[in-house]
Amino acid sequence: MLTKIHTFIDKYNVPLKPGYEELIFKFSLMLLVLDGSTGWNAQILMRITCTLMLVFGKYAGNKLFWGIIISVLLLSNSLQWYMLDNHKILFMYWVLLLTMYLWLEKDTEYIRANSKLLIGLVMLFAVVQKVLNEFLTPGFLHGRFLFDSRFMLITHFLTDIPVELLYKSKQSMTMLNALPIHQSFVQLKSTPLMATSIYIFQVFGLVVEFLVSILFLGGKKDSNAKDISLIIFCIGTYFIFPVIGFSSILLLLGIAQSTAKIRPYYIIAFIVLQFIKVPWQELLYYIENASF
């Protein structure tokens, strides 16, 4: 019985070519283990399937397993669509692309061209949404830094407003959220310097994002400019907005569409971006306040 199952599974093995193919498939499996799905049921299945595919390398390109992975992702993501972070959705498109590559027996150009387009489209939609909503008006990012507890220590360093006061405002906002009173508000504290510097950063970020989208949608496939812009965007953005999942999938797509010459720089960026996990804000606060 076991031999029969084994033979059946082996029938769907696609040997991955060393180098490019092996790199992107194994990288994708690793990200699927780390942060590919949402919800315990899908996560358990991903961890088991993808870890075994990585450990027993000949299954890393198994069409049947990739078919199972994308089916689980599609089902689990569709059930919780309005809760999913966008990088999980982007990752689902990427896994769909890899699965189609295996089943339809496409050449590697299929992956390269599509991953370049995917980066460009994601960046373009991110820019369009920012323009449609209030991102261009002064105050969007300023507000974020004042009421989002992930950035409150940065606000403290930039403004010298005591941390206790910032957290007190957070408590007031929690209270406000429970009150059924129209036009009620909490007044926050900041400085003009903070408002100006954050607005400059906000506009600069949008320009870079737009530039990345243009270079990826309209640029040549072997242009280094697009790769440099994406790497700068990832490092510049994700150290402040620590969304490691988004940076990882963007860099993986970057690797998939890049030339062999620029690929090592993406790997270096991936290594550098792992340091997002260092609690910089808390460490700086500790150094500033601890009596050595």
Partner 1 sequence: MKFLQSLENRLVCVLLIVVAVIQMYNSQFDTLTPWKGGGFGMFSTNKKANITAVGYKANGDSILINVVANKFDLPISKNFLKSTLNYPKERKLERLGKLIATSYLQPDTIKETPKNLDKRTYEQLKKNPEFYHTIYTPRHYQNEKMAIAGNATKIERVKIKLYNTDFYEEGLLYKKSYLKEIEVTN
Residues 84-103 that bind partner 1 (CB under 8 A): 84-86, 89-90, 93, 96-97, 100
Binding of partner 1 by 149 (CB under 8 A)? no
From residue 154 to residue 173, the character string flagging contacts with partner 1 as x (rule: CB under 8 A) and all else as - is: --------------xx-xxx
Binding of partner 1 by 83 (CB under 8 A)? yes
How many CB atoms are located within 10 Å of the residue 212 CB? Answer: 28
- On whether the CB atoms of residues 208 and 232 are closer than 8 A, the answer is yes
- 14, 203, 221, 256 from 17: Cα distances, Å: 9, 43, 21, 14
Give the three-state DSSP class for 19. Answer: coil
**Contact pick of 142, 156, 226, 263 for partner 1 (by CB under 8 A):** 142
Binding of partner 1 by 129 (CB under 8 A)? yes
Q: Which of 238, 252, 268, 265 is nearest to 93 (CA)?
A: 252
Binding of partner 1 by 128 (CB under 8 A)? yes
SS (H, E, C) 225-254: HHHHHHHHHHHHHHCCCCCHHHHHHHHHHH
Binding of partner 1 by 139 (CB under 8 A)? yes
- On whether the CB atoms of residues 146 and 188 are closer than 8 A, the answer is yes
Compare residues 45 and 100 and give the one whose CB is closer to partner 1: 100
Residue 165 beta carbon to partner 1: minimum distance, rounded to whole angstroms: 9
- 41, 42, 43, 99, 257 from 50: Cα distances, Å: 14, 12, 10, 14, 23
Phi and psi at residue 32, in whole multiples of 5°? -65, -35
Residue 205 beta carbon to partner 1: minimum distance, rounded to whole angstroms: 9
Binding of partner 1 by 143 (CB under 8 A)? yes
- Number of chain residues interacting with partner 1 (CB under 8 A): 65
- On whether the CB atoms of residues 77 and 46 are closer than 8 A, the answer is no
Residues 178-237 that bind partner 1 (CB under 8 A): 178-190, 195
- Rounded to whole angstroms, the Cα distance separating 81 from 222 reads 35
Stretch that binds partner 1, among 60-68, 120-128, 263-271, 282-290 (CB under 8 A): 120-128
Stretch that binds partner 1, among 19-27, 77-85, 224-232, 259-267 (CB under 8 A): 77-85
Which DSSP category does 61 fall into? T
Chain residues in the site for partner 1 (CB under 8 A): 80-86, 89-90, 93, 96-97, 100, 104, 106, 110, 113-114, 117-118, 121-122, 125-126, 128-130, 132-135, 137-144, 146-147, 168-169, 171-173, 175-190, 195, 241, 243
